[in-house]
């Protein structure tokens, strides 16, 4: 063993360790941008990763069907009741909307457009292994017009933001992560707060809307949307639904547990919002 | 005599090529399994790299450590080189221990893999979660790292048997004879 420490082999190994340290420091210095070689490697492995992810998702789905059969049955009943309630609300909404249109025409108000530019659909290549916050990789990057911190969405709601990007790939941090803070509000009660993730809630697939007034009117099922305050997210994009409201530890404010509108751990296709009215580039 | 030694040398080279292709395939499969699905998974690249390192010299072990470590960084979304440095240290240590001190036995590999996985998990926990001051950060350890570590140790057994089988089948006749001599007369 003593001979090894004096040998050329040992010097080669030390050189490689120094080189890896250099690579690590360089990767750290480029911030949220992927090194080109890594980007090429990710592109080459993407089809295989997609195939393995598809198989894994199929297996998870099959297991879930059998494991959660009773829960799914109960959920189904609850959803039917919710659909009936929403249909009733929709009828009211239609009446209110037609009245509003009449009034707008009468007063001459023209509402500002909900102006969004969406990227072409991005395929989810795979999830980051053992990330409790469900970060995932997509098969599009700067070459496709995406930028760092672009919001990632599906037709159901906000998913997260691009936190690392290369020419042909990007990594998305989801709204379950405590690293993200998003200004959000409830369209009906007008409560505003900051949406962020927490370790405990991420285990349950939820996040929280904090700094709410302790007398908040929020209740279960209310829709939470982006408020677009800091110019990082468009205003009025659905984030999720209130599951419960609780006072925080200090007792000065309250927080709401939010269930994301989209199932963040079983995504297949997403899109990036590459442009919207009032967009400003900053770190969320 | 010359012809025989040439045939034997050619066969040895062919066996080595086959062995390294199989090892490369094993690492590729481990990488793909690690990136599949969103549930907690074992870090298969760690036992695979250590088992391969136990059957090779220091320099090939280092190369295996670099490749597996970089793949682990990509699969886990970590800083490039972060896991690679640790796996190079582990693989070279495992190779040296098997060359000078340890016999090639499952119990030795279980101990080495447990130490390597535990330290990797602890470093991950400290640098990626604990130092950022997240609330209830111990839940990450209990719900993600501990189950993943246990699964990694369980996965060690089939990987160990597979790597040992590949290494033995692809070893030269001379290596087999030497191994038999060592077993007979330790």
Predicted confidence (pLDDT) per residue in B105-120, tens digit: 899 999 999 999 999 9
In a domain, B179, yes or no: no
Confidence of residue A46 (pLDDT cuts 50, 70, 90): confident
d(CA A247, CA A70): 32
State the pLDDT at residue A217: 83
d(CA A168, CA A43): 7
Average pLDDT, chain B: 85
Residue pair B104/B154 in contact (Cβ under 8 Å)? The answer is no
- Residues contacting A165, CB < 8 A, separation 6+: A32, A33, A34, A141, A142, A146, A147, A148, A171
d(CA A75, CA A91): 24
Q: How many domains does chain B have?
A: 1
In a domain, B21, yes or no: yes
In a domain, B184, yes or no: no
State the pLDDT at residue B107: 92
Query: Do the chains contact at A27 and B89, CB–CB below 8 Å?
Result: no
Instruction: Tell me what the mean pLDDT of segment A33-57 comes to.
Output: 78
Closest C-alpha among A107, A128, A110, A118 to residue A174 = A128
For A65-76, letters b (16+ CB in 10 Å) and e give eeeeeeeeeeee
Kindly state the percentage of chain A with pLDDT values over 70.
Answer: 93
pLDDT reading at B67 higher than 50: yes
How wide is the angle at C-alpha A48 spanned by C-alphas A47 and A49, nearest 5°? 90
Residue of B nearest to A28 (CA): B79
State the pLDDT at residue A229: 79
In a domain, B182, yes or no: no
pLDDT tens, A112-143?
Answer: 445 788 888 898 988 888 888 999 999 888 98
How far apart, in Å, are the Cα atoms of B10 and each of A18, A27, A179, B169, B178? 36, 42, 57, 16, 20
Helix (H, G, I), strand (E, B) or coil at A82: helix
d(CA A272, CA A232): 12
In a domain, B28, yes or no: yes
Helix (H, G, I), strand (E, B) or coil at A122: strand
What's the CATH number where B19 sits? 1.10.1760.20
- Global pTM value: 0.79
State the pLDDT at residue B3: 44
Residues of A in contact with B82 (CB under 8 A): 24
Residues of A in contact with B101 (CB under 8 A): 1
Q: Give the residue numbers spanning the domain of B87.
A: 6-172
pLDDT reading at A47 higher than 60: yes
State the pLDDT at residue B2: 45
Average pLDDT, chain A: 84
Confidence of residue B34 (pLDDT cuts 50, 70, 90): confident
Q: Other CB atoms closer than 10 Å to residue A18's CB: what's the count?
A: 11
For domain A115-284, give its CATH number from 3.40.1190.20, 2.40.10.350, 2.60.40.10, 2.60.40.650: 2.40.10.350
Task: Find the range with the poorest average confidence among B7-11, B52-56, B66-70.
Answer: B7-11
Q: pLDDT: is B9 or A79 the higher one? A: A79
In a domain, B183, yes or no: no
User: Which A residues in the span 42-61 are in contact with B, Cβ-Cβ below 8 Å?
Assistant: 42, 45, 48-49, 52-53, 55-57, 59-60
Q: Which regions of chain A carry the CATH code 2.40.10.350?
A: 115-284
In this complex, which of B38, B84, B96 lies closest to A134 when CB atoms are compared?
Answer: B38
Residues of B in contact with A128 (CB under 8 A): 75-77
State the pLDDT at residue A236: 86
In a domain, B181, yes or no: no
B12 half-sphere exposure, CB direction, 13 A CA radius: 11
Instruction: Tell me what the mean pLDDT of segment A98-104 comes to.
Output: 75
Q: pLDDT: is A6 or B94 the higher one? A: B94
Q: Is A126 at the interface with chain B, CB within 8 A?
A: yes
pLDDT tens, A185-236?
Answer: 988 888 899 999 999 999 889 999 999 988 888 888 888 999 887 778 888 8
In a domain, B177, yes or no: no
- Residues contacting A233, CB < 8 A, separation 6+: A151, A158, A182, A183, A226, A273
């Amino acid at each position: 063993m003593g001979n090894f420490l004096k040998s050329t082999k040992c010097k080669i190994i030390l050189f490689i360790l120094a080189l890896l340290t250099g690579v690590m420091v360089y990767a750290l210095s480029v911030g949220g941008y992927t090194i080109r070689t890594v980007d090429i490697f990710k592109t080459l492995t993407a089809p295989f990763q997609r195939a393995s992810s598809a198989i894994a998702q199929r297996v998870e789905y099959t297991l879930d069907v059998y494991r959660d059969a009773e829960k799914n049955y109960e959920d189904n009943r609850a959803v039917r009741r919710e659909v009936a309630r929403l249909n009733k609300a929709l009828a009211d909404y239609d009446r209110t909307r037609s009245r509003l249109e009449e009034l707008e025409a009468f007063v001459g108000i023209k509402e500002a457009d909900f102006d969004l530019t969406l990227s072409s659909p991005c395929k989810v290549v795979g999830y980051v292994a053992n990330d409790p916050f469900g970060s995932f990789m997509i098969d599009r990057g700067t070459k496709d017009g995406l930028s760092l911190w672009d919001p990632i969405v599906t037709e159901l709601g906000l998913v997260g933001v691009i936190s690392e990007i290369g020419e042909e790939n990007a990594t998305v941090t989801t709204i379950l992560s405590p690293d993200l803070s998003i200004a959000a509000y409830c369209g009906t009660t007008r409560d505003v707060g900051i949406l962020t993730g927490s370790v405990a809630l991420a285990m349950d697939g939820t996040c929280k809307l904090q700094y709410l007034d302790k007398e908040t009117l929020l209740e279960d099922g209310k829709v939470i949307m982006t408020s677009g305050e800091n110019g990082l997210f468009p205003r009025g994009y659905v984030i999720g639904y209130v599951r419960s409201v609780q006072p925080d530890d200090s007792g000065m404010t309250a927080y709401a547990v939010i269930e994301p509108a989209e199932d963040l751990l079983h995504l297949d296709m997403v899109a990036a919002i590459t442009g919207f009215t009032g967009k400003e580039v900053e770190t969320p | 005599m010359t012809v025989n030694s040439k045939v034997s040398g050619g066969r040895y080279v062919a066996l080595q090529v086959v062995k390294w292709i199989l090892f490369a395939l094993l690492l590729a499969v481990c990488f793909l399994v690690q990136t599949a699905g969103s549930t907690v998974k074992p870090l298969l690249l760690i036992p695979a790299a250590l088992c391969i390192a136990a059957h090779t010299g220091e320099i090939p072990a280092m190369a295996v450590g670099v490749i597996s470590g970089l793949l682990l960084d990509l699969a886990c979304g970590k800083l490039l080189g972060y896991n690679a440095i640790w796996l190079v240290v582990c693989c070279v240590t495992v190779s040296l221990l098997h060359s000078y001190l340890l016999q090639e036995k499952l119990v030795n590999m279980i101990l080495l893999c447990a130490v390597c996985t535990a330290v990797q998990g602890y470093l991950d926990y400290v640098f990626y979660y604990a130092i950022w001051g997240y609330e209830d950060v111990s839940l990450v350890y209990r719900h993600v790292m501990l189950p993943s570590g246990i699964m990694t140790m369980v996965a060690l057994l089939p990987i160990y048997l597979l790597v040992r089988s590949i290494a033995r089948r692809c070893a030269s006749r001379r290596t087999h004879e030497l191994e038999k001599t060592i077993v007979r007369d330790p």
